[in-house]
Homo-oligomer: A and B are copies of this chain.
Amino acid sequence: VASPVLVNGEASASVPALDRGLAFGDGVFRTLLVRGGRALNWDRHFRRLAHDCGALGLPVPREEMLRAEIARVAPEAAIVKVIVTRGVSGRGYSFPTDLTPTRVVAAFPPPEYPPELARDGIRVRTCELRLSEQPRLAGVKTLNRLENVLARGEWFDASIREGLLCDRENRLVEGTFSNVFLGFGATLVTPELTRCGVAGAQRDRIRDLATSAGIACDVRDVPFAELAEADEVFVANSLIGLWPVIAHGARTWPVGPLTRRFQALLEADDAQGR
């Protein structure tokens, strides 16, 4: 039986109490899906992880080592979370340049989302919390995720599956655990993530798939009011795949043709083991 958690390659259920990941959230993470022993969308996950490590000045884990560790914790099907922190240091914010990063690779049971979510779509709400703007960290999946925790804690109505997040200028940015896409006719739009938000590997993939399919996918600022004007809406991440959004308050949408198109494109991509 594989260990569910590896810390720096060793089976372990714990990290050092003085790790900077705990002390300051000084690190980054990714969450991905393993199916049939394959880490789906791996290239983009690793590229994002490398980018995010770079944003914090962390050394990037060797790709082959990471792949091997993921295979150890998730030989078949699982959700895998990869965390890279700056490691253990003294008490203050400053740190020596020669720290050894802490690497956590943890497996969780595969997701069991009811299939009707992807088929029939979900209801969403808008969160009251406004995302703060920090260009130095925008797009980066850091361990500083209290805004997501607070936003996700705003509602308990299980029939609402996701909360949309805006910045203080009332621009639509993302969902609490997903990226958001709007369809206007034959064009897809997803918010720019240069001030806040997390750029998911699934978002990267959808943008690449759009390019390959000759579908325009504009990445730009999206005033929240545009949501109501969209012909179709969906949210996406590496675990849920792609969920159509069919209602926000009184506004409802059909499950649109772009939504179905990208569901099919993602499925085909997964089937090819990418």
Contacts and interface: CB of A to CB of B under 8 A. Distances in A.
Interface of A: 5, 7, 12-26, 29, 31, 56-57, 79, 81, 83, 85-86, 90-95, 104, 106, 108, 129-130, 132-134, 136-137, 142-153, 168, 176-177, 196
Given A22-B143, A104-B17, A136 B150 contact: yes
Contacts of A150: 56, 136-137
Given A22-B83, A25-B143, 11 more contacts: A13-B17, A15-B16, A23-B81, A24-B148, A92-B152, A94-B152, A132-B132, A133-B133, A134-B147, A136-B150, A144-B145
A33 to B, nearest CB: 12
A176 B93 contact: yes
B177 A92 contact: yes
Assembly of this chain: how many copies? 2
A129 B134 CA distance: 9
20 contacts: A5-B18, A13-B17, A14-B17, A15-B22, A18-B106, A20-B149, A22-B104, A23-B29, A24-B146, A26-B146, A56-B146, A79-B91, A90-B108, A91-B108, A94-B152, A132-B132, A132-B196, A133-B133, A137-B146, A144-B146
Contacts of A147: 134, 136-137
A23 B143 CA distance: 6
Given A24-B149, A145-B25, A177 B17 contact: no
A62 B177 CA distance: 34
Given A14-B16, A17-B14, A94-B152, A133 B23 contact: no
A145 B79 contact: no
A27 to B, nearest CB: 8
A144 B25 contact: yes
Among A24, A85, A153, chain B packs the most CB atoms within 10 A around the CB of: A24
Ranked 10 nearest A-B pairs via Cβ? A25-B25, A132-B132, A14-B14, A144-B144, A24-B145, A93-B152, A132-B134, A22-B22, A144-B146, A93-B148
